[in-house]
């Protein structure tokens, strides 16, 4: 690979990984398997190691996951909740233990080993033995406050047991659901005509992230502790000195810990334990996807420390993905909102990893050609975790004589327009393709867009297919009478639909509209950057590619995508219609005179520690006055607002020479802005 090729590949990998981080950690809707994600991540790390000049502090290799979802109060973890490095086979496990031995200068390390529970990572916090708060892991630094929902988890102690109770204790663990409870829950969902869940992890994560705690209370959730964050002892002589003591101590305090957990005296014992559980996994009460091994001695853990993304003293040994063979009956082409033609395998239904699989992804044209998949073939499929299964390979010996080479269509199956190859993808060239329209409008109203709560995906799809909606603008001219013509749409539902659209029209900020447009490579952060620098959509469309690249977070690929989008005649027509219906939010320094003259205008803030107001409220105040709020510390930050129990960000800010103020100082700035 040339230097240019390497740079392009690194950019592509970062974009892919960030996308899948968002799907997995924010939306709880992963699109690829763990094995595929690990492959992307490892390739990126290897390229960055080989080419240090490409180092980027914002690379996904430097972080754990994604941003907290909207609807919950952000919570900043006092100690980072790190992810784990993975071993995909025992050779990699032994290589890891060799590194540990060299780091400790000894070869007699013991390892505490747990089954790797497949659930939602959560931190629960106790003060003087009483449960006070719970938060999801989020990106490892900032998660979501889910205190009310966690309080409903039946096996979570609200008051710690025993006499040796710390003054402060942060317990990390997984929210899970047993296989039997999951089956019973899905049966109840079916009987009630409600959505069934794909697997226990989806059910657990979805339950904890419900805004209504009553939903979580009705679900058979369990919390399994696997470690701790901060601990402050009333009597230090009782402090834990090993991982085994931590786990035994958690049990004594009233916590459940992962079943089958044990202390392994040697690295070979860990390997044997891994192989034993791999054989027994289907018979266990809970879904697991591997084994986690941690150095047992806490002093040894401290001596080895952490990399930028994971502890050096722990490793996740991952099980191979679930696999089976079945017949490839047909290949169906789906069209997404950006026009990508995605091939989907229609399979002879087969049970796999607890579900019946009848469809699986074939990724793209090149994937089919490289593996020579043909209709009628016997194929190997796999399902790792809770993602869409994929077709891996073909059994050539079982290929029927009638099987013919598959010709990937270069015509859109929906609008019959030409499709052209664009890198790995094949795209429909018709800007007004009905399939694109449906998916774009669905995205427009979704949480990633204008977040029109009350405007359901299925209704948008029906209206778009019937051409009642042919553009996002049509939402703002839609009348209640048009909705009531549909069977199943009652008066209340129609009123809720219209009210949600009206609310978005009245309240949606510019950045949300930009994100809702579904421009390629433009996510929430880029949308915020654009909204902070431009008065409106028209102003963005007038900029050159070069000018766009001068903005933070916008490189040549994003700049090209923005320029192409705003030069399109279809886009220009849509913007004129937005103006005509009165939906034209503004932003940037020219958004209001108050913002322009405010001492907060153009300034970058970061909030840390416990504040008198919610973190998202503080961010909103800053943005109302023309500033911007970020979650990661850097030299670009102008003010660090430190509340009580401020974490490591203050120390980093001091090293960078940033201005640190308390909340009263922040209020003084606001008073000057009035």
Question: For residue 214, what are the CA distances in angstroms to 143, 148, 151, 153, 217?
Answer: 21, 9, 11, 11, 5
Residues 278 and 222 in one domain: yes
Position of tokens 């919610």? 614
Is residue 122 domain-resident? yes
Residues 211 and 254 in one domain: yes
Instruction: Indicate the number of domains in the chain.
Output: 5
Residue 674 is predicted with a pLDDT of 54
Residues 523 and 642 in one domain: no
Q: Domain holding 471: CATH number? A: 1.10.150.20
Residues 517 and 445 in one domain: yes
Residues 117 and 48 in one domain: no
- DSSP-based three-state secondary structure for 288: strand
Contact 93, 288 (CB under 8 A): no
Task: Give the whole-angstrom CA distance, residue 500 versus residue 457.
Answer: 13
Question: For residue 94, what are the CA distances in angstroms to 113, 291, 321?
Answer: 15, 14, 21
Residues 449 and 503 in one domain: yes
Position of tokens 């091994």? 293
Is 294 an active-site residue? no
Active-site pick, 8, 16, 62, 116? 116
Instruction: Quote the radius of gyration of the chain (alpha carbons, Å).
Output: 26
Residue 227 is predicted with a pLDDT of 96
Residues 148 and 277 in one domain: yes
Give burial (CB, 10 Å; 0-12/13-18/19+) of 404.
exposed
Task: Give the whole-angstrom CA distance, residue 215 versus residue 209.
Answer: 10
Tokens of 74: 């952000």
Q: Domain holding 335: CATH number? A: 2.40.50.140
Run of H or E residues at 132: strand 130-136
Is residue 523 domain-resident? yes
Is residue 70 domain-resident? no
Task: Give the whole-angstrom CA distance, residue 107 versus residue 101.
Answer: 5
DSSP 22: I
Is residue 75 domain-resident? no
Contact 542, 575 (CB under 8 A): no
Residues 203 and 339 in one domain: no
Q: Domain holding 180: CATH number? A: 3.30.470.30
Residue at which a domain ends, from 399, 427, 455: 427
Tokens of 113: 């080993």
Task: Give the whole-angstrom CA distance, residue 403 versus residue 400.
Answer: 6
pLDDT along the chain (674 residues), means of 10: 81 82 60 82 84 74 46 85 91 95 93 94 94 90 88 88 91 94 87 77 84 81 95 87 96 91 96 94 88 97 88 93 91 89 93 82 92 95 71 93 93 93 89 84 88 86 87 94 90 91 92 91 82 91 90 83 92 94 78 53 83 76 76 82 78 84 82 62
Residues 121 and 222 in one domain: yes
Domain span at residue 617? 593-673
Is residue 72 domain-resident? no
Residue 664 is predicted with a pLDDT of 80
Is residue 588 domain-resident? no
Task: Give the whole-angstrom CA distance, residue 361 versus residue 344.
Answer: 5
Q: Domain holding 55: CATH number? A: 1.10.287.610
Which residues have C-beta within 8 Å of that of residue 44, sequence separation ≥ 6? 10, 13, 14, 17, 59, 60, 61
Q: Domain holding 644: CATH number? A: 3.40.50.10190
Residue at which a domain ends, from 318, 343, 358: 318
Residue 596 is predicted with a pLDDT of 47
Residue at which a domain ends, from 406, 427, 448: 427
Task: Give the whole-angstrom CA distance, residue 301 versus residue 218.
Answer: 39
Own/partner long-range contacts of 363-370 (Cβ < 8 Å, ≥24 apart): 363/390, 364/424, 364/425, 364/426, 365/341, 365/408, 365/421, 365/424, 365/426, 366/424, 367/343, 368/331, 368/343, 368/406, 368/408, 369/408
408 backbone dihedrals φ, ψ, rounded to 5°? -70, 130
Contact 75, 257 (CB under 8 A): no
Pairing of β 168-176 and β 222-232? antiparallel
Is residue 76 domain-resident? no
Residues 156 and 51 in one domain: no
Residues 354 and 462 in one domain: no
Is residue 69 domain-resident? no
Contact 153, 124 (CB under 8 A): no
Residue 434 is predicted with a pLDDT of 83
- Confirm whether pTM is higher than 0.85: no
Residues 563 and 517 in one domain: yes
Task: Give the whole-angstrom CA distance, residue 625 versus residue 338.
Answer: 35
Question: For residue 257, what are the CA distances in angstroms to 82, 454, 625, 632?
Answer: 19, 40, 48, 33
Q: What is the dihedral of CA 436, 8, 45, 386, to 10 degrees?
A: 10
427 backbone dihedrals φ, ψ, rounded to 5°? -120, 145
Question: For residue 431, what are the CA distances in angstroms to 217, 339, 358?
Answer: 46, 8, 32
Position of tokens 């009905």? 434
Question: For residue 554, what are the CA distances in angstroms to 77, 546, 560?
Answer: 29, 10, 10
Bridge partner residues of 661 (DSSP): 641
């Amino acid at each position: 690979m040339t230097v240019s090729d390497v740079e392009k590949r690194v950019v592509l990998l970062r974009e892919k990984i960030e996308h899948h981080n968002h799907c997995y950690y924010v939306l709880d809707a992963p699109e690829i398997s763990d094995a595929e994600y690990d492959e992307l991540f490892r390739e990126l790390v290897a390229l960055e190691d080989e080419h240090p000049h490409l180092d980027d502090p914002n690379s996904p290799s430097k972080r754990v996951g994604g941003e907290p979802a909207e609807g919950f109060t952000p919570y900043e973890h006092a100690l980072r909740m790190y992810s784990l490095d993975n071993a995909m086979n025992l050779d990699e496990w032994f290589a890891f233990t060799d590194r540990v031995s060299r780091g400790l200068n000894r070869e007699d390390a013991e390892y505490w080993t747990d089954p790797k529970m497949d659930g939602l990572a959560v931190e629960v916090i106790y003060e003087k033995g009483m449960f006070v708060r719970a938060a999801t892991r989020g990106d490892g630094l900032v998660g979501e406050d889910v205190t009310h929902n966690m309080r409903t988890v039946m096996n979570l102690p609200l008051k710690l047991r025993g006499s040796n109770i710390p003054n402060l204790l942060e317990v990390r663990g997984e929210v899970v659901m047993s296989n039997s409870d999951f089956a019973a829950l899905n049966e109840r969902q079916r009987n009630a005509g409600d959505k069934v869940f794909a697997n226990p992890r989806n059910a657990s994560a979805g339950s904890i992230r419900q805004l209504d705690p009553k939903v979580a209370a009705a679900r058979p959730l369990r919390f399994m502790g696997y470690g701790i964050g901060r601990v402050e002892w009333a009597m230090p002589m009782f402090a834990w000195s090993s991982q085994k003591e931590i786990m035994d101590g958690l049990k004594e305090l009233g916590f459940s810990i992962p079943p089958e957990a044990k202390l392994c005296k040697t690295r070979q014992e860990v390997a044997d334990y891994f192989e034993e559980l791999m054989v027994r996994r289907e018979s266990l009460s809970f879904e697991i996807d591997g084994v986690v091994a941690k150095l047992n001695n806490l002093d040894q853990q401290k001596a080895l420390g952490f990399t930028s993304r994971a502890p050096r003293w722990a490793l996740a040994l991952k099980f191979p993905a679930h696999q089976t063979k079945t017949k490839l009956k047909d290949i169906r082409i789906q069209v997404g909102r950006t026009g990508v033609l995605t091939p989907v395998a229609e399979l002879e239904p087969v049970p796999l990893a607890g579900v019946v699989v009848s469809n699986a992804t074939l990724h793209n044209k090149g994937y089919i050609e490289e593996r020579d998949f043909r209709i009628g073939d016997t194929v190997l499929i796999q399902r790792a975790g809770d993602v869409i299964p994929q077709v891996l390979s073909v059994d050539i010996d079982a290929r029927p004589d009638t099987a013919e080479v598959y010709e990937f269509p270069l015509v859109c199956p929906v609008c019959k327009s030409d499709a052209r190859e664009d890198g790995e993808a094949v795209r429909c060239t018709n800007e007004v393709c009905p399939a694109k329209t449906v998916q774009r409008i669905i995205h427009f109203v979704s949480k990633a867009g204008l977040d029109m709560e009350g405007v359901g995906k299925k209704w948008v799809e029906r209206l778009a297919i019937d051409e009642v909606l042919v553009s996002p603008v049509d939402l703002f001219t839609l009348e209640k009478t048009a909705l009531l013509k549909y069977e199943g749409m009652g008066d209340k539902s129609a009123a809720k639909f219209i009210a949600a659209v009206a609310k978005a029209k009245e309240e949606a900020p510019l950045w949300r509209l930009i994100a809702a447009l579904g421009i390629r490579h433009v996510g929430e952060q880029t949308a915020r950057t654009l909204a902070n620098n431009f008065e409106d959509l028209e102003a963005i469309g007038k900029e050159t590619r070069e000018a766009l690249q001068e903005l933070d977070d916008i490189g040549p690929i994003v700049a090209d995508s923005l320029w192409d989008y705003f030069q399109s005649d279809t886009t220009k027509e849509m913007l004129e219609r937005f103006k005509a219906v009165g939906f034209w939010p503004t932003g940037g320094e020219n958004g209001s005179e108050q913002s322009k003259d405010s001492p907060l205008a153009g300034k970058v803030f970061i909030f840390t520690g416990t504040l008198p107001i919610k973190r998202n409220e503080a961010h909103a105040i800053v943005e109302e006055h023309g500033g911007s709020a970020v979650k990661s510390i850097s030299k670009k930050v102008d003010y660090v607002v430190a509340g009580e129990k401020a974490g490591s960000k203050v120390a980093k800010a001091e090293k960078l020479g940033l201005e640190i103020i308390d909340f009263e100082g922040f209020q003084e700035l606001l008073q000057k802005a009035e």
